[in-house]
Structure 1
Amino acid sequence: MKKWKAPATVLLSLYVPPGRPIADVLNNLRQELSISQNIKLKRTRDAVEAAISAAIDRLTQLPKVPDNGIVLFSGKNFDTEEFKCILFSPPEKVSIYFYRTDKEFHTEFLEDMIEENDVYGLLIIERDEATIGMLRGSRLEVLDELQGYIPGKHHKGGQSQRREARIIEELVHEFHKEVGDRANSYFLPYLESKKLKGILVGGPGFAKQDFVEGDYLDYRLKKLVMEPLLDVSYQGDNGLREMVTRAGDALKGQKLVEVQKALEEIKYHLAKADDLVVYGRKEIETAMDAGALEYLVVYEDDNTASLIQRAENSKVNLYVIGDEVPEAEWIRKTFAGAVGKLRYKL
């Protein structure tokens, strides 16, 4: 819903906390529906009225507000002409009453709820280059990329060489200090909210050791630096992925690591052509019913929602992914959004 945009304020977002009578909410919406008749532009007026009317229709079917409250999104996607009215109870309690029609749906209150509790800071450091990132569940994010100007070593001798070596050392120190300050600003809020579980530090050379041993990170963050420091060849997104892969057992149980492991195993069995990979809705459900499905990787969208629900009810080892996983498009296009590994051939 976050991706939907509109040329006018026609997308309705509604948050209702527990304890609020449904009748009160319906009265407010009916008042808004009456007010919307004053909108001059017919296309906008029709879209707002349709969004509010659909919301009223859905809410009248509820006897009361659930224990965690309700969230409702209603409106038309002007790019696709698709209309949706989605009503659900979120994973945590809604704390406010919020109603608005806008050019986008207001998902920010939900994002706080679904943010992973286990967060890992990621830092790739060289003498003149650094990448700061974050691992939240299966979402790997580049937060910042920094570059410093550190001149290469020269071949002069004597005092000139020693002087230039001191200058280079000072430049490296200043760059690492900048990286440390930036990393502190990103990681400390997660530490203070008790979500930061550890920090992975890596790089191609000895700079990572110098950085960790220096006083560049806040002392509270230094305690969370995980051993061993990792040899990483790249910067940027590729470097962060390499780091997470190399971390291995240190991140065991993290969703992204488990998903990547599952996908590598699927690729291995596809290459062997040993019939242990299953895809296609009918084939997956047959394997599920037979108890032969070891795990299932599903790209989450409207087309796979019912399959995800069925897998959850069957207690299959399920990995639900989004676009944050590099292979997401491959799974979506090649396997219609779902691919699994069998325990044995069917």
Structure 2
Amino acid sequence: TSMISLIIPPKDQISRVAKMLADEFGTASNIKSRVNRLSVLGAITSVQQRLKLYNKVPPNGLVVYCGTIVTEEGKEKKVNIDFEPFKPINTSLYLCDNKFHTEALTALLSDDSKFGFIVIDGSGALFGTLQGNTREVLHKFTVDLPKKHGRGGQSALRFARLRMEKRHNYVRKVAETAVQLFISGDKVNVAGLVLAGSADFKTELSQSDMFDQRLQSKVLKLVDISYGGENGFNQAIELSTEVLSNVKFIQEKKLIGRYFDEISQDTGKYCFGVEDTLKALEMGAVEILIVYENLDIMRYVLHCQGTEEEKILYLTPEQEKDKSHFTDK
């Protein structure tokens, strides 16, 4: 039970975690079994040493694994690993048991698509993204639109015109901000867009000529919500989960369809199998790479001792057991 998994999300404080570890150290000192006690205390001390290397939590959070594992040969081996994940990790975790917990890291790999949200109503607009379970507010602003009123007599038309003008300018500002946030290097940087709002602004925006065509084609859903701002953003996420989970599936289906089209038309623009695919990759000839999720293959580079000859092998776990692959025939 001396394997510690510690995950600290981006906005957490090192000082809070250090205090928590000090408390854990105190609790572990009371473990009755001497072997177990020393083992757990050793693991906690290792984590504390690792934390001292950081004066603040990195932008994407921090993952630490410390403890003693038993190797395949039955020997004990100390493991101390600390790293910043490749994208923000939205999980807080401290566990001390008989295995390292990597579920949160696996989740980071599976939720790769980033989706854009525009929440727009009569009081303001919010722009955000959702990637996996990480939501981020990119920008928000408020607006003061004149309300409809029945007064004014002859001026009523002028008031109506002013109101329409302000509304038009507001929709334009939202459309322009969307381009700044969701298009980078001439490409849309999200897998899809959700427009949400309580009034008909979202419909107006989606149909407006001012709304960039590239973004218009990415709109997945219009969502009716009862709030604006951050509460509206949360509600929009809840109401869009089904649509968002389908997007990845549809994209994968399209890719596979395109691959089979190339094969059936015999265009010569395709290859399959590990060796041919990796050769094409090394030549820089691959535009789209499709990888099977459970592909488990090791790449070995073998050097011949007498000559300078080099041999590359790609082996499955089953093939690895056959030692004849690693000796001269």
TM-score, normalized by length of structure 2?
A: 0.43
**If you compute each CA radius of gyration, which structure gives the higher value, 1 or 2?**
2
